[in-house]
């Protein structure tokens, strides 16, 4: 029987019923080592005691009141995020897609009264900013936009990494440039630090806002709390989601006071965004992740995993081409179809995530054990061995 679920996903025939740490158990009792983390969401793995305790305690006290009233846990989380980042203010959403919608609105609203011609948003090929109207317009790829026109106007796309094209695209009508410091869906492609610095300087010269989409690469994923910190630059607006809720739906837009000055009462809203349940979990995530000791461990574990992956590339030159990424956001660019590598992983009871540019994403829990990293490499080695004859 076909389930009555809209068929927008080509789901694997796997159904998980429980999980702990970096492991998931399916309905047949098999244990899978999870290197996908719900697509970079479960930053503390499955059933982390601090998150379970926070959610359970809040669920027994109060679920939802709406943003018509103050929400103490929301205010606490906002203070944590502002203290830890460039931002002066934040607005809570339920997802990265909603964060993109607000980021675009915020950038355009910033100039709506004093410079109303500034509405254009410059974005990059290979990007992913969610599946809303603004998100697909920002990405611009035919795969994302075909059949959904007319698209939201006012977006210009430049080739990823083409600095001259970016300079040519700038003008007095550009409100903002939107960029992922590490492209996730695009294949784990980091933007070099020098390019982020150059982007910041270029936007400053044109009076243009910088929007960083850190939905996937943020919340400790690269070994800094947010990936742009490696370059020593800051955006004006930042989109956050996925890891901030540790598995509970939560997102946010962080901004400077200047970038957010147009967002006055009535200009935006969310019924569920930042409700007590979500923010209780978000605060618990921040308490665990936003410490230098934790982030240092992410960097160490990322180096351990990367070293092992480089070894697999050398051992399976007909299957893998190269490793790229940062921290525990790593990609294996493949010579065989990446989907085949993911499927072979299922046979080895290992979960990975496909991406563009024929890349397999490795996005484990940030607190993954060293022993689990070694086991993951062993299982990936076995999976690759089953593909080598086909590659040859």
Catalytic residue among 34, 213, 236, 372: 213
Sheet holding 174-179, edge to edge: 89-93, 251-255, 237-240, 209-213, 174-179, 120-124, 155-158
Asked if the peptide bond before residue 150 counts as cis, ω within 30 degrees of 0, the response is yes
Q: Which of 289, 315, 317, 338 is nearest to 188 (CA)?
A: 338
Active site residue 128: yes
Q: 255, 90 in Cβ contact below 8 A?
A: yes
For 278, other C-beta atoms within 10 Å of its C-beta total 28
Q: 214, 226 in Cβ contact below 8 A?
A: yes
Give how far Cα 32 sits from Cα of 44, 132, 188, 291, Å. 16, 32, 23, 29
DSSP state of 21: B
Which residues neighbour 346 within 8 Å (Cβ) at sequence distance 6 or greater?
A: 12, 14
Which helix (H) or strand (E) is 100 found in, with range? helix 96-111
Catalytic residue among 128, 160, 212, 294: 128
For 115, other C-beta atoms within 10 Å of its C-beta total 13
For 270, other C-beta atoms within 10 Å of its C-beta total 16
Q: Residue ranges of the alpha helices (H) in 316-363? A: 338-347
Which tokens sit at 308? 């092992």
Per the DSSP assignment, residues forming a β-bridge with 21 are 46
Which tokens sit at 322? 């190269």
First and final C-alpha spacing in the chain: 39
Catalytic residue among 86, 91, 212, 242: 242
Q: Classify 177 as helix, strand or coil.
A: strand
Give the residue numbers annotated as catalytic, written as ranges. 128, 213, 242
């Amino acid at each position: 029987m076909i389930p009555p679920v809209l068929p927008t996903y080509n789901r694997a025939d796997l159904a998980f019923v429980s999980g702990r740490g970096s492991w998931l158990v399916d309905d047949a009792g098999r244990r899978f080592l999870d290197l996908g983390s719900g697509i970079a969401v479960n930053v503390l793995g499955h059933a982390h005691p601090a998150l379970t305790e926070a959610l359970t305690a809040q669920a027994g006290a109060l679920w939802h009141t709406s943003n018509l009233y103050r929400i103490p846990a929301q205010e606490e989380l906002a203070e944590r995020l502002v203290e830890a980042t460039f931002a002066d203010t934040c607005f809570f959403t339920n997802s990265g897609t909603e964060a993109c919608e607000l980021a675009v609105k915020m950038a355009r609203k910033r100039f709506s009264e004093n410079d109303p011609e500034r509405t254009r948003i410059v974005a990059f090929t290979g990007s992913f900013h969610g599946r809303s109207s603004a998100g697909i317009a920002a990405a611009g790829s035919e795969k994302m936009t075909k059949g959904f026109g007319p698209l939201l106007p006012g977006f210009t796309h430049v080739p990823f990494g083409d600095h001259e094209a970016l300079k040519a695209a700038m003008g007095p009508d550009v409100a903002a440039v939107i960029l992922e410091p590490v492209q996730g869906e695009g294949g784990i492609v980091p933007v070099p630090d020098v390019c982020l610095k150059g982007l910041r300087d270029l936007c400053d010269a044109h009076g243009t806002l910088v929007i960083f989409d850190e939905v996937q690469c943020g919340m400790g994923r690269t070994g800094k709390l947010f990936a742009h910190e490696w370059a020593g630059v800051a955006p004006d607006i930042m989109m956050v989601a996925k890891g901030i809720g540790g598995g509970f739906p939560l997102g946010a837009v962080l901004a400077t006071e200047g970038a957010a000055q147009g967002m006055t009462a009535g200009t935006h809203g969310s019924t569920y965004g930042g409700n007590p349940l979500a923010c209780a979990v978000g605060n618990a995530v921040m308490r665990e992740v936003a410490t230098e000791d934790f982030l240092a461990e992410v960097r160490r574990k990322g180096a351990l995993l990367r070293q092992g992956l480089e070894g697999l590339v050398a051992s399976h030159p007909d299957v893998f081409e190269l490793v790229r990424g940062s921290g525990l956001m790593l990609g294996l660019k493949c010579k065989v179809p990446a989907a085949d590598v993911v499927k072979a992983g299922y046979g080895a009871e290992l979960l990975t995530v496909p991406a563009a540019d024929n890349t397999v994403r490795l996005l484990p829990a940030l607190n993954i054990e060293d022993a689990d990293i070694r086991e993951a490499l062993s299982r990936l080695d076995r999976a690759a061995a089953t593909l080598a004859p086909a590659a040859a």
